[in-house]
Amino acid sequence: MTEAIPGQPQQAVQVPDDAPELSVRSVAVLLLYFRKEYGEERLRQVWQKHHLGLSLDYVSTLTNFVSFQFLQRLVEVLVAETGDPDYSRKAGRLYATPEAVGYLFHVVRAFGNSRAVYLKLVELFPTLNRVAQVSIDSLSSHHMVISYQSKYPELSRHLCEGRMSQFASVPTIWDLPPAQVMELQCQVRGADCCRYELAWHEPVRGWRMGAGLLAGVAVGTGMGLLGLGPLPVLVPAIALGATSFGAWLDARQEVRRKDEYLAAQNEGLVQSLRDLERRYDEIFRSNLALEDRVAARTREITEANAKLEQALVTQKELTRLKSEFFDNVSHELRTPLTLILLSLESLLQRDPATIPGPVRNHLATMDRSAQRLLKLINNLLDLAQMEAGKTRLRYQPVELYGLLNSLLSPFKVMAEKKGIRLALEGEKVTAIHADVERIEIVFQNLISNALKFTQEGTVTVRIREDEAVVHVEVVDTGPGIAPQDIPVIFDRFAQADSTGTRRFGGTGIGLALVKETVDLHSGRIGVKSDVGKGSTFHVQLPKGTNHIREDLRDRRVVELPVRRDRRSYSGLSAVRPGAASEPAPSVLLDETAPPNAPRILVVEDDTEIRAFVTSVLRTEYRVTEAVNGEEGFARATRERPDLIVSDVMMPVMSGLQMLTQLRDVPDTADIPVILLTARQEVSEKVEGLGIGANDYLGKPFSPRELLARIEAQLRLRDAAVRAAENERLAATGLLTSGFAHEVRNPLNGLMNALLPLRDAVLGAQQDPATAQAMIEVIEECGTRIRYLAESLLSFVRTNDKPVPVHLDASLDSTLNVLGWRVPKEVVVERDYRCPVPVMGDPGSLNQVWVNLLDNALRAVGSSGHVKVSTEREGDMAVVAITDTGVGIKPEDMEKLFQPFFSTRAAGEGTGLGLALCRRIILRHGGTIRLVSEYGKGTRSEVRLPIQSSESLSAGVDRARRLA
């Protein structure tokens, strides 16, 4: 049995299955043997089953080639399908058969021999196998040593055994025994090549002539001894005649054999001609079909080219219109924006005493936001001019070291506030010819980006020159750029991080503007970055004047002033204090809010928007801030605000991610959340509302609208709380009616005993025995009334502080109060195994028990079984109420604790019972869950912590305040 040899490489070079490596003749004997033994239909089934990369017709055409990898896979498939470990050896025996060789078999049989065939195989081997080399180490008439070396590793011994079987089959062409093949070494077993020793027998020729000679000598000798003639004459004469006769027989046999071989060869040639004619017809028809397809394809290509040309013209026109639109819109926007900036500047320059502090803060915020908007408009205008080919450059000598030194001055102030070292390294360089204003924009963008993304460390600007180029590098120690993002960072509107959690804002215009500006100056810009270590932007600007493009030169003679609005604000807004990229610490701002006002959590990464929203809300609510979703989620779980106002796109954790986590935690699942977003697409709103947002507010928004929506959500929340309280009161009313029924019987007995007692004591005929009996009846009825009263008091008792609650007594009081609800055919089993009390509010817990028990009794109907049990598991007390009722449908399980969801018929419940139970249990630091199998019953399980009164008191007080 053949098997893979351990320690050998088990994977060949990955190449296509039809790679020109091996002639299909190497596959032919494998398929021929399978067809002979298992049939054509089975072979096609195997081919379809294993999805081999080439079709069966392809590998049946002897002029095709396959890859070495395909051959190995095919051998493994055939061996596995047949279950024959000697499959390759058996298939190799057909190598020297007419079916495998064709008409050449008869030519070789007529004129060849084994030695000639082996030599010819070695000669033709490079054309049949292009992945291996074969060489002859030694050769004789009946003996040969061959070396076989493959450049690909063979995975198993199957190919080796098939190769040896093919070598052995050559002598069988002449009906001789197979050659003896001995394997001297094998590549699969670790040798550098495979070596085989071959030994064979050649066909014996001319035996009849020799036999005639021997027979003639024998006959001549016998006749001479018998005296029939002289011995010296008879022996040679008869021997000569017999030899001649034998030679004639040999020649006759050889001619007959050759005639047979020639006839067979002729038949093979005729068949080959027929095959060639058939193939010619097929090729001719295929050629006609191909010509038709080429003509049709040519027409399609011509039509497609015409459409593409029209589309190109249309696209160019759209591009022109878009550029004009950007140009016009940018100019139109700058006009009112200029008036806004001038008005704000005029107001800010007034005496501070004339403007209240809050108003001045709002004016400063408006000024910074307007400057950021101006930067964006300027960049859009520049891009539009570049795309429209309207850009003009005012070339003048620029010494870059001095320019960079002046540019860094305002940035150093911002760098110091962030704790970042900003440095310029180098010395004065040769002046270059460039547009000063546009070169300033290039380095302002690069430096501002470096400061924006670097949270600690250094930002270094290096300058140097060589013979032809001035080099400027901006190096930072920021987070770096992912390798997959580097190819696109200079594309328009592309950003390395476009997710909802990206930490830094931006439009994707800055680096595109930098790249296109450098290109206009015939320069180059590149970037190298290591994730987690930092990035280096390398700008190369040519020296001299050869790069000056006259078609871009600004021909205006008058020296225009530099646009100070662009220079002053193009880079600083990204890193200045109060910008969106600089998170401010969270602060509790509730100085002006009423002490009992609802608490609002504002989650927003933009400092100025967060401050504005806070200033709007703080007069009506107690406000807490968070700078991202992660901090917002932590604050929400810790402080349980009454409502959350959150941005959607934030660093670290987005608003949607925070909302998902809030809804997954029971403590925060019912907190109303209003999302703020600048994206107004319907899909964005649908996604947020689908996750669980209570409302959506688009930016920009009105403060009055924000306040109105918050008020609406808080009112909805209060309405839900009141509905839950109504549910509790409804349950109390239900119990009261049952309690009245329970009290009526002993009360009637007591009243009925009073009249006989009065007659027995005060009547004319006093009866001590009757008096004693009536007193006992009155005592029994009074005891029952007191027991029922104590049960009801125990059920409705509430405490301001947590007290020890014995679960068995609490459950018993609930069962006693609900006793009238239990049908006669319903068995209520009690199994109490938790003697340790829990700390909590007994009245609230009893409300939970009555809801769960009422659900269980409704589920079992008029007959069934309800089990109430307790047990202790570590630091938790477990209360389980199990019923044999109808169970709950699987599709309803996830909705059970949602407010207002009910499986009962309309009018039979508010759907707040289980929601109220969960709220009460969560306030006690526990959990509640339901396990049900539809048609078999339900198990309600409550887990409560067993802890000290001190540790629970704070939690209950806090929960009561939040509720």
Q: For the domain that residue 677 is a member of, what is the CATH number?
A: 3.40.50.2300
Q: Tell me what pLDDT residue 921 has.
A: 86
End-to-end CA distance of the chain: 78
Q: pLDDT category, 761, cuts 50, 70, 90?
A: low
Residue 791 pLDDT > 60, yes or no?
no
- Rounded mean pLDDT, 787-808: 64
Task: Give the Cα separation of 147 and 765 in Å (integer).
Answer: 139
Q: Of the residues 678, 701, 724, which one is the last residue of a structural domain?
A: 701
Higher pLDDT, 243 or 693: 693
Q: Tell me what pLDDT residue 565 has.
A: 41
Residue 1 pLDDT > 50, yes or no?
no
Q: pLDDT category, 873, cuts 50, 70, 90?
A: very high
Task: Give the Cα separation of 320 and 384 in Å (integer).
Answer: 9
The DSSP call for residue 890 is G
Same domain, 119 and 268: no
Averaged confidence pLDDT in the chain: 78
Q: Which CATH number characterizes residue 538's domain?
A: 3.30.565.10
Beta-bridge mates of residue 868: 830, 881
Question: How many structural domains are present in the chain?
Answer: 5
Same domain, 404 and 552: yes
The answer to the question of residue 373 being in a domain is no
Higher pLDDT, 90 or 206: 90
The answer to the question of residue 481 being in a domain is yes
Q: What are the DSSP calls for 103-167, one per residue?
A: THHHHHHHH--HHHHHHHHHHHHHHHBSSEEEEEEEE-SSEEEEEEEESS---SSHHHHHHHHHH
**700 preceded by cis ω (within 30°)?**
yes
- Rounded mean pLDDT, 350-367: 78
Q: Tell me what pLDDT residue 870 has.
A: 95
Task: Give the Cα separation of 568 and 374 in Å (integer).
Answer: 11
Q: Which of 405, 397, 505 is nearest to 447 (CA)?
A: 405
Higher pLDDT, 189 or 787: 189
Q: Which range among 136-140, 270-274, 705-709, 770-774 shows the weakest confidence by mean pLDDT?
A: 770-774
Same domain, 840 and 912: yes
Q: pLDDT category, 800, cuts 50, 70, 90?
A: low
Q: Which CATH number characterizes residue 100's domain?
A: 3.90.1520.10
- Rounded mean pLDDT, 38-44: 91
Same domain, 339 and 440: no
Q: Tell me what pLDDT residue 782 has.
A: 64
The two tokens of residue 400 are: 């870059």
- Rounded mean pLDDT, 612-622: 88
Q: pLDDT category, 227, cuts 50, 70, 90?
A: confident
- Rounded mean pLDDT, 659-666: 85
Q: pLDDT category, 285, cuts 50, 70, 90?
A: confident
The answer to the question of residue 733 being in a domain is no
Same domain, 258 and 293: yes
Same domain, 602 and 683: yes
Enclosing H/E stretch for 926:
none
Q: Are 697 and 689 in contact (CB under 8 A)?
A: no
What is residue 814's three-state secondary structure? helix
Long-range pairs for 849-853 at CB < 8 Å and ≥24 separation? 849/810, 849/811, 849/814, 849/879, 849/881, 850/731, 850/735, 850/795, 850/814, 850/817, 850/818, 851/731, 851/913, 851/914, 851/916, 851/917, 852/881, 852/917, 852/940, 852/942, 853/814, 853/815, 853/818, 853/881
Exposure class string for 287-296: b at 16+ Cβ within 10 A, else e: eeeeeeeeee
Most confident among 587-601, 869-883, 946-960 (mean pLDDT): 869-883
Q: Which range among 291-305, 490-504, 794-808 shows the weakest confidence by mean pLDDT?
A: 490-504
Beta-bridge mates of residue 864: 826
Q: Tell me what pLDDT residue 505 has.
A: 46
Residue 377 identity: I
Q: Which range among 252-261, 632-641, 928-937 shows the weakest confidence by mean pLDDT?
A: 252-261
The two tokens of residue 725 are: 């309280």
Q: Tell me what pLDDT residue 584 has.
A: 40
Q: Which domain holds residue 601?
A: 588-701
Q: Tell me what pLDDT residue 704 has.
A: 84
Same domain, 221 and 131: no
The two tokens of residue 699 are: 């930016």
Most confident among 423-427, 574-578, 729-733, 787-791 (mean pLDDT): 423-427
Q: Tell me what pLDDT residue 165 has.
A: 92
The answer to the question of residue 358 being in a domain is no
The answer to the question of residue 103 being in a domain is yes
Q: Which range among 414-418, 828-832, 896-900 shows the weakest confidence by mean pLDDT?
A: 896-900
The answer to the question of residue 31 being in a domain is yes
Beta-bridge mates of residue 958: none
Q: pLDDT category, 510, cuts 50, 70, 90?
A: confident
Q: Of the residues 177, 199, 221, which one is the last residue of a structural domain?
A: 199
Torsion angle defined by CA atoms of residues 388, 394, 400 and 406, in that order, rounded to the nearest 10 degrees: -90
Pairing of strands 588-589, 622-626: antiparallel
Q: pLDDT category, 754, cuts 50, 70, 90?
A: low
Task: Give the Cα separation of 175 and 753 in Å (integer).
Answer: 129
Task: Give the Cα separation of 216 and 251 in Å (integer).
Answer: 18
Enclosing H/E stretch for 312:
helix 231-348
Q: Are 600 and 625 in contact (CB under 8 A)?
A: no
What Rg do the C-alpha atoms of the chain give, in angstroms? 50
Same domain, 463 and 564: yes
Q: Tell me what pLDDT residue 681 has.
A: 65
Please, where are the H alpha helices in 349-485? 357-388, 400-418, 436-453
Residue 789 identity: A
Q: Tell me what pLDDT residue 665 has.
A: 82
Q: Tell me what pLDDT residue 502 has.
A: 46
Q: Which range among 308-322, 483-497, 609-623 shows the weakest confidence by mean pLDDT?
A: 483-497
Same domain, 163 and 240: no
Q: What is the pTM of this model?
A: 0.42
Q: pLDDT category, 907, cuts 50, 70, 90?
A: very low
Same domain, 607 and 672: yes
Q: What are the pLDDT digits (tens) for 109-150?
A: 767 788 888 998 899 888 888 899 999 999 988 899 999 998
Q: What are the pLDDT digits (tens) for 49-92?
A: 988 888 888 888 888 899 988 999 999 999 999 999 999 999 99
The answer to the question of residue 362 being in a domain is no
Same domain, 54 and 152: yes
Q: pLDDT category, 789, cuts 50, 70, 90?
A: low
Q: pLDDT category, 485, cuts 50, 70, 90?
A: confident
Q: Of the residues 179, 199, 219, which one is the last residue of a structural domain?
A: 199
What is residue 911's three-state secondary structure? coil
The answer to the question of residue 459 being in a domain is yes
Task: Give the Cα separation of 385 and 375 in Å (integer).
Answer: 15
Same domain, 41 and 103: yes
Long-range pairs for 239-243 at CB < 8 Å and ≥24 separation? 239/213, 240/216, 241/216, 242/212, 242/213, 242/215, 242/216, 242/217, 243/209, 243/212, 243/213, 243/216
Q: Are 496 and 482 in contact (CB under 8 A)?
A: yes
Q: Tell me what pLDDT residue 740 has.
A: 52
